[in-house]
Amino acid sequence: MNRNFKSIMAFGVLALLCSCASKKAATVEVAPAPAAPVQEVEAPKTVQYSVAPDRIANRNVDYDQYFIELDADAAPTRPDSKGFIRRWLLLEPINKPNSGNTVFTDSYILKELTKEYFKGQFDNTIPAIGSTVEVESEAPRAGGRGGFGGFGGGQQAQQPAAPATVKQTLKWHSIDSKLFNIKLFRFAKGVREDKNGYGLIFNAVTVINCEEDMPNVRLAAGSNASSIWWVNGEKVLTLQADRRMVADDGMSQLLTLKKGKNIVRAAIINGPGMSDMCCRFYNEDGSLVKNITITNK
């Protein structure tokens, strides 16, 4: 009987141990996987521009993002680090509402950009800042992008025909460009009441000052679209056809910048598209001309 009691006790202890082990196994908690860290999304940064209140009231703020407008007392400046000329006298643009750019043939460019729209246009003189000229130009056309019939696709609504010509009073502005290329499209939208930047002719003048004669230099220029360039009254470069602006897209033959003032003038035309220009001078050996100053008078 004693042996049987011991067997029963052993069996009971074994059963108790198995039960405890089973309960312990059943109550084991698995720790949850750590949550992925939440990545903070940085708010987009806003570029701040210093714009005078009167500019905000009088023109598109975009103008001040591209240009600094100057008066006649502005100190002389120099080409930028890559030789580009950023100071120009710009005339408010003349209407030339072409509905496309395919018309920019050699003969068309020569005819339209050498046409005298205002008195003294080709006198090789420096226009006074703020002075105005009277121009008779084509009237903007009704319909389409920027007033161009048939541009942009779709059926255009019938509108009364605009008069064939319109008189414009245009003012000369003196600017320093904040970019190496002069954004003529932005200039037009900033100075025109109708904010139109398409189908225009731009006239630009700058003054290059040399301490001595600089022979054997070349004018290198780019424009969107076509352009003609003059140095001291002589036509030195023509960029024809519909083209995007590329630096040094065309180069003049060798010429001489004389001691003292040299007047560089450009005329640029665009159709239903953007417009800009750039220029710089190269020495005969391919180095950039930098030992010059640039003024607006």
pLDDT in tens, 215-245: 999 999 999 999 999 999 999 999 999 999 9
| For residue 225, cis peptide bond before it (omega within 30 degrees of 0) | yes
> Which residue matches tokens 């352009």?
227
pLDDT at 60: 60
pLDDT at 112: 94
pLDDT at 15: 52
Please give the Cα distance from 245 to 276 (Å, whole number).
7
Q: Please report which helix (H) or strand (E) contains residue 276, including its range.
A: strand 276-283
Least confident interval from 49-53, 72-76, 80-84: 49-53
pLDDT at 142: 65
- Please answer whether residues 202 and 90 qualify as being in contact, where contact means their C-beta atoms are separated by less than 8 angstroms: yes
CB crowding 140-174: b at 16 or more within 10 Å, else e: bbbbbbbbbeebeeeeeeeeeeeeeeeebebebbb
Question: Tokens at residue 151, please?
Answer: 């541009």
Residue 59 scores a pLDDT above 90: no
pLDDT at 151: 39
Q: In the predicted model, what is the mean pLDDT of residues 262-291? A: 96
Least confident interval from 85-89, 98-102, 167-171, 256-260: 98-102
Alpha carbon separation from 245 to 86, 103, 126, 175, 254 (Å, rounded): 15, 18, 26, 20, 22
For a pLDDT cut of 70, what percent of the chain falls above it?
A: 72
pLDDT at 30: 44
Global pTM reads 0.75
Greater confidence (138 vs 53) lies with 138
Question: Tokens at residue 40, please?
Answer: 């903070």
- Please answer whether residues 223 and 249 qualify as being in contact, where contact means their C-beta atoms are separated by less than 8 angstroms: yes
Residue 58 scores a pLDDT above 70: no
pLDDT at 164: 85
Q: What share of the chain is helix, strand, coil (3-state, %, to 5)?
A: 20, 30, 50
Please give the Cα distance from 227 to 131 (Å, whole number).
24
Please give the Cα distance from 210 to 208 (Å, whole number).
7
pLDDT at 280: 98
Closest to 274 (Cα-Cα) out of 196, 206, 190, 157: 196
Please give the Cα distance from 249 to 237 (Å, whole number).
11
Q: In the predicted model, what is the mean pLDDT of residues 134-147? A: 72
pLDDT at 100: 84
Residue 154 scores a pLDDT above 50: no
